[in-house]
């Protein structure tokens, strides 16, 4: 018996070494952790239970039968994050460059299946050279099996991808279908075709970092949600994100202990909005002052900065926040901000996370580039996302809410439950100057008359009371009382039940 136990430990030790100490050292030299080190940092101490440690590939071509490392380039299993169950797979770059084989894919699929069946998040740590060429179509089939499970899991369990090395070719489509993608600066990249292929086909000279690095995907393409300095920081932020999320679509988000009075009065908010309607202010200041302990987990911070998305807690309960940012493009909606916010709203709705919308929007960004780029359809995505949402929704209009953008930003007409406005709110078809020049165009040559007409328009419409008179605003509130009012509103909506007409699925404007 003793010999058998020693043999077991020897085999486990070999499996834990992956591709060998030399390759582990090379991984460390690149500033990267190994697959197992990453799992150890991600999960609670001692909680990881590994599956399929001794699985090997079945390929016999190209001399592959002489190289059969245990685990076949991916470490899979389950554990806990702050005591809550999660499933995880971590690709091992020290074994065949983390390339995906048939058995490698089967290991990942097993974890995905178990995550769906048991209603727990799945976290994939990607560090792979792509398909294992020696296995040909078997490798491609493996990718498709993983993709299918990504699709089936969508909206059922949270799926998080962490890119910690190369992710190229077909490999990128699995992360692309997950809910959140995080990258590591300088050591990770994603692209469908690499720099060499790009040069051959289009004659463009581009580096891997420029083509698909963390900066590219967080600032330009919006493929990734955030980028971090190193593996350790990225995994710590994944742990923090998981704390905000429910385990699955049938559970409510977790409730955390809080030490912040829901009735807290923030007198500084009374002066947050400048007297001059054209002067910007930082909407993040409002979000931090509404959140428990000022904690705001921002999503896609570096993309479409004219809109803010992320998670806060109110009375220890997760709330998704969508907010116009007057500091960037005056808070206008455009193609990128509409896409960013629409995806976030749909995620919140899929997982029963209430939504708080903070509105200061002068309209949609004008211009040929926006129209040619399809701002109509992209703007409709956000409209559609809010209109189909059945979770509790609270809206606060702080200043401008003009035109169609007023409708889009979780207006009462899209079934938002509580719609509040600050006294500084202006709810109208457009600003006073533009409206006056249209209504009184015959007086355009008389500046005094135009100024008088503009003043009359502002007096009549540049306030929240016309909308309040019609019931489109439920209450005009004091800014200092905003945290208390939204906390009470969300508390009253905890048992909300709403539904849409039966359908196989909708057809959101893509």
Active site residues: 169-170, 404-405
- Structural contact between residues 71 and 39, judged by C-beta atoms closer than 8 angstroms: no
Which is it for strands 307-314 and 297-299: parallel, antiparallel or unpaired? antiparallel
How far is it, in rounded angstroms, from Cα 27 to Cα 38? 12
Q: Name beta bridge partners: 198.
A: none
DSSP for residue 332: -
Judged by DSSP in three states, 265 sits in coil
Reading the block at residue 1, the tokens are: 């018996």
Rg (CA), the chain: 26
Residue 329 and residue 308: Cα distance in Å, rounded? 13
Closest by CA position to 47, among listed 9, 76, 8, 83:
83
Distance CA 454, CA 448 (A): 10
Which of these, 274, 363, 352, lies nearest to 324 by C-alpha position? 363
Quick one: which of 365, 357, 362 has its CA closest to 401?
A: 362
Nearest to 500 by CA among 436, 414, 396: 414
Give backbone dihedrals phi and psi of 445, rounded to 5 degrees, phi first: -85, 0
| Residue 500 burial by Cβ neighbours in a 10 Å radius (0-12, 13-18, 19+) | exposed
Of 152, 61, 136, 51, the closest CA to residue 100 belongs to 136
**What is the torsional sign of CA 92, 96, 97, 101?**
negative
The first and second tokens of residue 221, run together, are: 């393409």
Structure tokens at 28: 């460390």
* CB proximity list for 88: less than 8 A, separation 6 or greater: 39, 42, 43, 48, 76, 77, 78, 79, 111, 122, 123, 124, 125
The dihedral sign for the CA sequence 210, 211, 213, 216 = positive
Determine if residue 239 is left, alpha or beta; phi over 0 gives left, psi from -120 to 50 gives alpha, anything else beta. Answer: alpha
Question: By C-alpha distance, which of 305, 324, 313 is closest to 240?
Answer: 313
* CA–CA separation, 188 and 130 (whole Å): 13
Partners of 86 in the β-ladder: 79
């Amino acid at each position: 018996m003793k010999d058998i136990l020693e043999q077991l430990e020897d085999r486990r030790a070999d499996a834990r070494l992956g591709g060998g100490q030399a390759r582990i050292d090379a991984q460390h030299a690149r500033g990267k952790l190994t697959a197992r080190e990453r799992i150890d940092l991600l999960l609670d101490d001692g909680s990881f239970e590994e599956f399929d440690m001794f699985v090997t590939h079945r390929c016999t071509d190209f001399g592959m039968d002489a190289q059969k490392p245990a685990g076949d380039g991916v470490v899979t299993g389950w554990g806990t994050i702050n005591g809550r169950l999660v499933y995880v797979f971590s690709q091992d770059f020290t074994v065949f460059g983390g390339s995906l084989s048939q058995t490698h894919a089967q290991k990942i699929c097993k974890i995905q299946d178990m995550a769906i069946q048991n209603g727990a998040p799945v976290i994939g740590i990607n560090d792979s050279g792509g398909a294992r060429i020696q296995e040909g179509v078997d490798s491609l089939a493996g990718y498709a099996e993983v993709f299918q499970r990504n699709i089936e899991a969508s909206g059922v369990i949270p799926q998080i991808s962490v890119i910690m090395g190369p992710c190229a070719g077909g490999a990128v489509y699995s992360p692309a279908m997950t809910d959140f993608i995080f990258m590591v600066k300088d050591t990770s990249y994603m692209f469908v075709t690499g720099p060499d292929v790009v040069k051959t086909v289009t004659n463009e000279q581009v580096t891997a970092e420029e083509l698909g690095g963390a900066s590219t995907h967080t600032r330009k393409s919006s493929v990734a949600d955030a980028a971090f300095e190193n593996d350790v920081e990225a995994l710590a932020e994944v742990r923090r994100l998981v704390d905000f999320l429910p385990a699955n679509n049938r559970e409510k988000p977790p409730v955390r202990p809080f030490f912040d009075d829901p009735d807290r009065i923030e007198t500084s908010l009374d002066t947050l909005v400048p007297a001059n309607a054209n002067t910007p202010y930082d909407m993040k200041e409002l979000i931090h002052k509404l959140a428990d302990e000022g904690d705001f987990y921002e999503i896609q911070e570096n993309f479409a900065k004219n809109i803010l998305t992320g998670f806060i807690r109110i009375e220890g309960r997760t709330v998704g926040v969508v907010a116009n940012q007057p500091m960037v493009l005056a808070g206008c909606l455009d193609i990128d901000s509409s896409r960013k916010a629409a995806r976030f709203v749909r995620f919140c709705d899929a997982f029963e996370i209430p939504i708080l919308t903070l509105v200061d929007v002068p309209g949609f960004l004008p211009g040929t580039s926006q129209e040619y780029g399809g701002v109509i359809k992209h703007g409709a995505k956000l409209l559609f996302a809010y209109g189909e949402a059945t979770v509790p929704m609270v809206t606060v209009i702080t200043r401008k809410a003009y035109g169609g953008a007023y409708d889009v930003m979780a207006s009462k007409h899209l079934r938002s439950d509580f719609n509040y406005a600050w006294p500084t709110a202006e709810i109208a078809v457009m600003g006073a100057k533009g409206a006056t020049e249209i209504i009184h165009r015959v007086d355009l040559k008389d500046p005094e008359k135009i100024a008088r007409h503009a003043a009359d328009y502002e007096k009549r419409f540049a306030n929240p009371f016309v909308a309040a008179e019609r019931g489109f605003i439920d209450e005009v509130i004091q800014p200092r009382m905003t945290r208390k009012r939204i906390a009470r509103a969300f508390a009253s909506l905890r048992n909300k039940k709403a539904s849409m007409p039966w359908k196989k699925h909708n057809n959101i404007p893509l």
